[in-house]
Structure 1
Amino acid sequence: MSLLGRRWPAPLAKPMAPFFVAGLVMLYGVNSFANVLMNTDEFKNDPRNPNVKGKKPEAH
């Protein structure tokens, strides 16, 4: 007896493939847009920007 119950002979990956592809496209688009925004003049010197080449916090 399986913990997940009975195995049903229903396809899962094939009908969901367009949603998987759309999710990857959205993740790529959001990441690209975030990278573009990090390099704008408004946020280029923001201390929260991970690309800022400023002082590093001193160790204890």
Structure 2
Amino acid sequence: MSLLGKKFSGPVARPMMPFYAAGLVILYGVNSFANALAATDEYKNDPRNPALKNEAPKH
């Protein structure tokens, strides 16, 4: 007796491919939009901007 229940042999990855591709497109779009917003003049010098963490602090 298996703890996971009965095993069914059915395709999983192939029918889900459009959803995986759409998820990647959405993630790419959200990432590029967030990077574009972080580069605007309003948030360019904000200390919460993750792009500024790589630079040395200016005194």
Q: Which is richer in helix?
A: 2
TM-score (ref. length: structure 2):
0.79
Aligned-pair identity in percent equals 64
Q: Which runs of 5+ in 2 are unaligned?
A: none
For structure 1, the residue ranges without an aligned partner over 5 or more in a row are none
Number of residue pairs the alignment of both structures matches: 56
SS at match of 2:51: coil
Could you tell me the TM-score, scaled by structure 1's length? 0.78
1:55 pairs with 2:57: yes
Residue identity in the other structure for 1:34: A
